Amino acid sequence: MMLDTLKELLTHQYEASLAAVHLAMARCPESSWNQRVATWTFCQAAFHAVFFADFYLQPGDDIEVMKLQPFHVEHPKAFRDYEEFEDRPPVLLYEKPFVLGYLQYVRGKARETIARESADALAGPSGFQRRKCSRAELHVYNIRHIQHHAAQLSLRLRLDAAIDIPWVSHAWKDA
């Protein structure tokens, strides 16, 4: 019962955080899509949030495994050189329909990944050398990272275009 409760909680919070990012992207006017949000553009921040959500949903930090996922194989021109793994600020820009489609892929991946998790896996190591925590804590970290960027994007929309992004509690089926 406890494992099922944790998996349901994680699934709902992944869905809520990813729905919040989706709402910000979907409501972003084209005129703001490539404008600055702190040091990155809106599209770079949105892509970054989705990209690392995808990455941390993997069982480990093998970049080559990530590159072999169907969505990545189907969109090689969009992922280009995987600059997100470079130790430099991003320079590439991303088309809105691509990032929205990628987000939908990651939403499905989150549901599938959490459904497969076992108690032992969640209690075990994260699988990522840079994240010295349990797999369960990695999921919480990942959700916090997604939500950080959802808040960043939402604030930019409110300040620049008076667009409000509603609070998403635990699931948002229309997003």
Q: What is the DSSP string of 53-114?
A: HHHHTSSS--HHHHHTSHHHHH-HHHHTT-GGGSSS-------HHHHHHHHHHHHHHHHHHH
Average pLDDT estimate for 1-9: 91
Q: What angle do CA 90, 85, 91 make, to 5 degrees?
A: 15
pLDDT tens digits along 40-49: 999 999 999 9
- Report all structural domains of the chain as residue ranges with CATH numbers, in order of start: 2-161 (1.20.120.450)
pLDDT of residue 167: 87
| Strand positions, DSSP E, the chain | 36-37, 40-41
pLDDT tens digits along 98-151: 999 999 999 999 999 999 999 999 999 999 988 899 999 999 999 999 999 999
pLDDT tens digits along 48-72: 999 999 999 999 999 999 999 999 9
Give the predicted TM-score (pTM) of the model.
0.94
CB 158 within 8 A of CB 3: no
Instruction: State yes or no: pLDDT of 20 exceeds 70.
Output: yes
pLDDT of residue 119: 97
